[in-house]
């Protein structure tokens, strides 16, 4: 199972750093309900993010978070999310 390094940053702190298998985020381009996924070896990408539910799968579990608007940067198996807010969804 291939992983990539994910860093999630809010205005207050680094919220999360670690290896993940997949990530699904609400995309800020196009239709508001659209989104996209990221796996290891994803093509380079910079995009805006809409507020919505983000799903991440690490080697052990899948977790959902409600995120505020922000940006995503994908390059060389390093993914950085800059989001205005983030909260775990039960």
Side-chain half-sphere of 40: how many Cα atoms within 13 Å?
A: 11
Structural domains in the chain plus CATH codes = 4-88 (2.60.15.10)
Q: Is the distance from CB of 15 to CB of 55 less than 8 angstroms?
A: no
Q: What percent of the chain has pLDDT over 70?
A: 92
Alpha-carbon torsion (60, 28, 32, 12), positive or negative? positive
The predicted model scores a pTM of: 0.90
pLDDT category at 29 given cuts 50, 70, 90 is low
**Mind listing the pLDDT tens digit for each residue in 33-82?**
578 899 999 999 999 999 999 999 999 999 999 999 999 999 999 999 99
């Amino acid at each position: 199972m291939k992983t990539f390094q994910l860093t999630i940053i809010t205005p207050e702190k680094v919220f999360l750093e670690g290896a993940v298998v997949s990530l699904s985020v609400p995309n800020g381009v196009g239709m508001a309900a659209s989104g996209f996924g990221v796996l290891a070896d994803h093509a380079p990408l910079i995009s805006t993010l809409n507020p919505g539910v983000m799903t991440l799968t690490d080697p052990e579990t899948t977790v959902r978070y409600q995120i505020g608007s922000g940006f995503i940067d994908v390059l060389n198996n390093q993914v950085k999310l800059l989001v205005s807010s983030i909260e775990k969804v039960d």
